[in-house]
Amino acid sequence: MIVGLAGGVGGAKLLQGLALALPDVALTAIVNTADDFELYGLHISPDLDTVLYTLAGLANPTTGWGIAGDTRVTLDAIARLGRDPWFILGDQDLATHILRSERLKAGTPLSAIMAEFASALGVSTTILPMTDDTVATMVDTPAGRLEFQEYFVHRHQEDDVLGVEFVGGADSSPAPGVLDAIAAAELLVLCPSNPIVSIGPILAVPGIREAIERASAPVVAVSPIVGGKALKGSAGKMMRELGKEVSARAVAGEYLRLIDGFVLDQVDAHLLQSVSSLGVRALATPAVMRTVDDRVALARTVLDFARTVRTGRALEVE
Amino acid sequence: MIVGLAGGVGGAKLLQGLALALPDVALTAIVNTADDFELYGLHISPDLDTVLYTLAGLANPTTGWGIAGDTRVTLDAIARLGRDPWFILGDQDLATHILRSERLKAGTPLSAIMAEFASALGVSTTILPMTDDTVATMVDTPAGRLEFQEYFVHRHQEDDVLGVEFVGGADSSPAPGVLDAIAAAELLVLCPSNPIVSIGPILAVPGIREAIERASAPVVAVSPIVGGKALKGSAGKMMRELGKEVSARAVAGEYLRLIDGFVLDQVDAHLLQSVSSLGVRALATPAVMRTVDDRVALARTVLDFARTVRTGRALEVE
């Protein structure tokens, strides 16, 4: 079994590559839910849905999130009723939010709901939320403490980030199946997602980091930072404002003592030695996934690379 | 001020006629909410929405309910996720249900929510739910007790109706503004809606029937039964199965001691004498509203007729 930790678009793309590269191998995605929020009374899970839609082959190829060809009729009608349509909710997409909200209200855990959705959409990858509990990424800014989507979407990441906290993280438990999947994994992949607010919350769920440290499988991370910039999303600006270097090397640094191997883009090949000096095997390869073929190619490279990686962590534990 | 009691399509059409015929006169609609139900976790108010959309000029002219030109993208996606799309929810329409559900969950009364929606859609008519409390029309059938929409839409009215109960009715209170509007009215209209399950629940809210009986304004009802059949909806079959005659006369009988005047369609002119013998002034006129012009014409006829009607009830009280 292969286990991938992922946030949104970049992570979902590599997960799809892994699923397509190894159709006969069980794949489990452990997905960030700390960006989840409530809008118009509906529970929105942006990262889970991006992973779901991508693996179902439904994702919008231009944005990476949302559903291809989706319309915005309901959102326009919400605006007509006087509300600010600041977060894009497509009409097909809304079905997911409506049914998830209904099931959550009835007491069904998020993990069970996602299993139902994946089954209905013919997705064979197991999509697990990191937790069934409520964890919320809060972003501290000069304008005060903001919910993540308020910072990221509504205010267009324009506020300086002074700090990040995963409220509820310390009191949360891994969703059913998460720790078992990590223990049973033959390969653990930290997908190219924001190390602070996508992979960070997953690792902050008590038990998950420890399970990865204990796992016998090699752990390989793929950098979401290419050429000193985030390919997508908030990683670049946020890392800089938090006083971190915006580089693939800095991402490897975030995962120190957790990973055995690190994959960075070929444009960052000059950083290989610097990453290796952290005690991590490093590989430079084309890591920008524009097409589905790119995703499969990167997945194959990661799989090949993982075979060459000794589990240094495991050796330390032995 | 004119006050109309209404259920769904037929009632909404006459309300629109009244609003257009007397644009400078305050109009208040008191609308049935006993058909309200929850679907996919959303609170649906079919009659309130039909009145809202009709008065906003948005209603689907073919069906009378829903919004003209609305699409069903979300409902198709709900079906793709494995759920039965038995109740048609258009995409524009969904905005209403989503925002209403959100506001109800936050504790806002339904009456305040409808006032917000009416304002946002430029509707000057005051649209009042009969109550802010929960009242549910339950239909007793050989297959057991059914929620109204389950009977009416999901099971296509195929079950015999053994009885009808408005659960919660006896414990409900009129929504704010309802009793004041009735007391202040210069004319009260029982719109052409199902006397049993549309007007019936309104009259079952403690205080409303009494307020109408006490009102100084004439009360005129318009028959929803034309030529022995309901123009729309469940009235005909339901009246028959409850052992009632399916006729305009039987509708007048349902409203006995409540109305001063009764308007029936010209095809039922032969019933005029029979209705008059109930002690009610009766008028035969073209009462089928196919076009907006028909609605205005019928509204004008009702207004003219009302001026000729002595308030027999009021005389009794005096």
pLDDT tens, B241-281? 999 999 999 999 999 999 999 999 999 999 999 999 999 99
- Among A43, A263, A47, which Cα is nearest to A55's? A47
Is there a contact between B38 and B317 (Cβ–Cβ < 8 Å)? no
Q: Return the HEC string of B135-156.
A: CEEEEEECCEEEEHHHHHHHCC
d(Cα B113, Cα B118) in Å, to the nearest integer? 9
Of B42, B73, B119, the CB nearest to A98: B42
What pLDDT is stored for residue A233 in this prediction?
A: 74
ipTM at complex level: 0.93
């994946």: which residue's tokens?
A118
Nearest residue of chain A to residue B72 (CA atoms): A91
Residues A98, B71: C-beta atoms closer than 8 Å:
no
- Cα B80 off chain centre by: 34
Q: What percent of chain A has pLDDT over 90?
A: 93
Rounded to the nearest angstrom, the minimum Cα separation between B275 and chain A is 44
Tokens of B197: 């399950």
**Per the CB < 8 Å rule, is A77 touching B96?**
yes
Which residue's entry shows tokens 């409902």? Answer: B75
Asked if A134 is an interface residue toward chain B (Cβ–Cβ < 8 A), one would say: no
Rg over CA atoms, chain A: 19
Residue B316 confidence (pLDDT): 41
Nearest CA in chain B to A84: B99
B236 three-state secondary structure? helix
Tokens describing residue A193? 């997602």
pLDDT of B180-212, one tens digit each?
A: 999 999 999 999 999 999 999 999 999 999 999
Binning pLDDT at 50, 70 and 90, where does residue B310 land?
A: confident
Furthest-apart CA atoms within chain B: distance in Å: 63
Give the pLDDT band of residue B133 (cuts 50, 70, 90).
Answer: very high
Residues of chain A positioned with their CB less than 8 A from the CB of B85: none
User: What's the mean per-residue pLDDT of chain B?
Assistant: 95
Amino acid A230: pLDDT: 86
Instruction: Specify the pLDDT at position B314.
Output: 42
Give the pLDDT of residue A312. 59
pLDDT (mean) for B143-151: 95
- The alpha carbon of residue A71 is apart from the nearest alpha carbon of chain B, in Å, by 8
Tell me what the mean pLDDT of segment B79-99 comes to: 97
- Say whether pLDDT at B77 is over 70: yes
The amino acid present at B139, given as its one-letter code, is V
Q: What is the pLDDT of residues B2-57, one digit of tens each?
A: 999 999 999 999 999 999 999 999 999 999 999 999 999 999 999 999 999 999 99
- Condensed to tens digits (0 to 9), the pLDDT of residues A78-89 reads 999 999 999 999
Cβ(B301)–Cβ(B262) below 8 Å: no
Nearest CA in chain A to B58: A77
**At B222, phi and psi to the nearest 5?**
-115, 130
* A-to-B residue pairs, Cβ atoms closer than 8 angstroms: 103
Of B42, B70, B82, the CB nearest to A120: B82
- Is the pLDDT reported for residue A317 higher than 50? no
Residue B74, chain A, CB below 8 Å: the answer is yes
Q: Answer whether A96 sits within 8 Å of B74, measured CB to CB.
A: no
Nearest to B40 among A80, A102, A117 (CB): A102
> Does residue A26 contact residue A2 with C-beta atoms inside 8 Å?
yes
pLDDT (0 to 100) of residue B249 = 95
Helix-strand-coil split of chain B, %, nearest 5: 40, 20, 40
Residue B317 scores a pLDDT above 90: no
Handedness of CA B204, B205, B207, B209 (dihedral sign): negative
B174 DSSP assignment? B
3-state secondary structure of B258: coil
Give the model confidence (pLDDT) of A213-258 as tens digits: 999 999 999 999 999 988 877 788 899 999 999 999 999 999 999 9
**Radius of gyration over every alpha carbon of chain B, rounded to an integer in angstroms:** 19
CB contact under 8 A, B73 and A96: no
CB contact under 8 A, B98 and A98: yes
Angle at A171 between CA A168 and CA A172, to 5 degrees: 85
Where on the phi/psi map is residue A66: left (φ > 0), alpha (ψ -120 to 50), or beta?
left
pLDDT band at A315 (very low <50, low <70, confident <90, very high): very low
Q: Which residues of chain B lie closer than 8 angstroms to A74, CB-CB?
A: 74, 91-92, 94-95, 98
The angle, 0 to 180 degrees and rounded to 10, between the axes of the packed helices B91-105 and B110-120 is: 140
* Residue B88 sits at the chain A interface (C-beta within 8 Å): no
Q: Which of A82, A91, A119 sits opposite B91 (nearest CB)?
A: A91
Cα B182 to chain centroid, rounded: 16
pLDDT at B312: 59
By three-state DSSP, how is residue B179 classified? helix
- The pLDDT of residue B313 is 57
Instruction: Collect all residues of chain A within an 8 Å Cβ-Cβ radius of residue B74.
Output: 74, 91-92, 94-95, 98
The predicted-structure confidence for A14-72, as pLDDT tens digits, reads as follows 999 999 999 999 999 999 999 999 999 999 999 999 999 999 999 999 999 999 999 99
Any CB–CB contact under 8 A between B85 and chain A? Answer: no
Q: Cβ–Cβ of A40/B98 closer than 8 Å? A: yes
Write out chain A in H/E/C secondary structure: CEEEEECCHHHHHHHHHHHHHCCCCCEEEEECCCCCEEECCEEECHHHHHHHHHHCCCECCCCCCCECCCCCHHHHHHHHCCCCCCCCCCHHHHHHHHHHHHHHHCCCCHHHHHHHHHHHCCCCCEEEECECCCCEEEEEECCEEEEHHHHHHHCCCCCCCCEEEEECHHHCCECCCHHHHHHHCCEEEECCCCCCCCHHHHHHCCCHHHHHHHCCCCEEEECCEECCEECCCCHHHHHHHCCCCCCHHHHHHHCCCCCCEEEEEHHHHHHHHHHHCCCCEEEEECCCCCCHHHHHHHHHHHHHHHHHCCCHHHHHHC
Minimal CA separation from B82 to chain A, in Å: 6
Q: Does A81 touch chain B (CB under 8 A)?
A: yes
CB B64 within 8 A of CB B12: yes
Q: Residue B315 — pLDDT band, cuts 50, 70, 90?
A: very low
Tell me whether B95 touches chain A (CB under 8 Å): yes
Backbone phi, psi, residue A136, to 5°: -130, 120
